[in-house]
Structure 1
Amino acid sequence: MSDCPRELPANGTLDPRDVVPALGFSRTRRYGQSRSRQTLQERKMESPHEHQQNLLLSRIITNVEKLNEAIMLLNKSLQEINIQNMNVELVAQMFKNYQSNVLFHLEATDSLKDPS
């Protein structure tokens, strides 16, 4: 490790460019380009499936948004159906109570006859 500086420079800090080569690491990435100078196109070349994955993710996101909208419409429709069914439920409960009252009255007056 003779490349590593043994004393701090006058300003009191080490320059990472001096330390990294001393540790055996290269300052450049593949193809001899530094990381900061690497263009977006070259980064995509390193990950050939990234574009395809991004397209798939965007399709998934779009489909989930559409599914969310469909579920919201379904919930709204179900709420409307439940509100409309409340009237039917009320009439059914009224008929049940009426039937119970008629049965009670017929038993109380001994007018209940067996069906024939």
Structure 2
Amino acid sequence: MTAYAYLIIAIVFEVVATSALKASEGFTRMVPSIIVVVGYVATFYFFSLVLKTMPVGVAYAIWCGLGIILVTLMGIFLYGQTPDLPAILGMALILIGVCVINYFSKTIVH
């Protein structure tokens, strides 16, 4: 698998774990709490595989940028948390930054 495939897997696990963190209600609900722990362990395992070939700063920027947007979407659909215009604009700028890194950075593995 490529670094990008591992990164996507890490991001998906992180989004699921973070969404379950809200549902765990401070680790008072068993099933969401288990999902959180398993999700974060899987996240860091796959992220460690990414770091074998991709610079840590670039990988982390992509992970955080896409994670923020995907967690926000999960918040909208699962919890009815609608971001306001400044939040949407901020996330758009983050997404633009991730695109700039991916398409123009010479430090990234293609």
Q: Same fold (TM over 0.5)?
A: no
Q: Which has the higher contact order (CA 8 A, sep 6+)?
A: 2
TM value normalised by structure 1:
0.22
> Going by fraction, where is helix more abundant, 1 or 2?
2
